[in-house]
Amino acid sequence: CCPFGTRCQDHGEDYNTQTDCIAEEKVVQSGLQICKLGPPLPPDTTLPSCLVLGDSISIGYTPFLKEQLSAVCQVQHSPWDVRDGGACDTAYGLQCLRSFLTSPSGAPLHPDLIVFNFGMHDGPSSNETVPGQNGNASVYLPQLSKITAELQRTGARLLFVLTTPFLCSAQKDAV
């Protein structure tokens, strides 16, 4: 949740990552990002498949979901590369959804269940936006609706996970 004019610098790995906000002399807003691919593991032939798709919150709950459902279904996260926030904001999620539903070999994924969430990278509306990392809250619902419609076309059962918004400060977030 670094303010405009700073950049996030991560230290540590996986769930022990700490982010520092570092002042930038010049702020550069990038355009579209390269899309990351879905999970590389082949589908289990004996269990249904569950694909967890979403932002950094989903990265946090996926290991617990995988452990709790290990006897019921195969759980994998998409995108597979989760070092920088997973599917991040809804704009990136919408841009890259087809890639998230594709294995690194290029084969389309056909999960039985898709558990998905977006939102932590889409606001609060007073925060500045950075394409692919922090989206604008005003486009959250339309983009989430498009993502949901695309996921419905896969034929998988869908489960949308609600998350509590992370607020930077009462003053900045008008709380």
Task: Sketch the domain layout of the chain as residue ranges.
Answer: 29-160
Cα of 19 vs its chain's centroid, Å: 17
80 vs 132: CA distance, rounded Å: 16
Q: pLDDT confidence of 158, banded at 50, 70, 90?
A: very high
pTM higher than 0.75 for the full model?
Answer: no
126 vs 28: CA distance, rounded Å: 19
Q: What is the pLDDT of residue 73?
A: 97
174 vs 44: CA distance, rounded Å: 47
Q: What is the pLDDT of residue 167?
A: 61
56: pLDDT strictly greater than 70: yes
What is the CB neighbour count within 10 angstroms for residue 146?
Answer: 14
Q: pLDDT confidence of 113, banded at 50, 70, 90?
A: very high
E strands within the chain?
6-11, 18-23, 49-54, 74-78, 113-117, 157-160
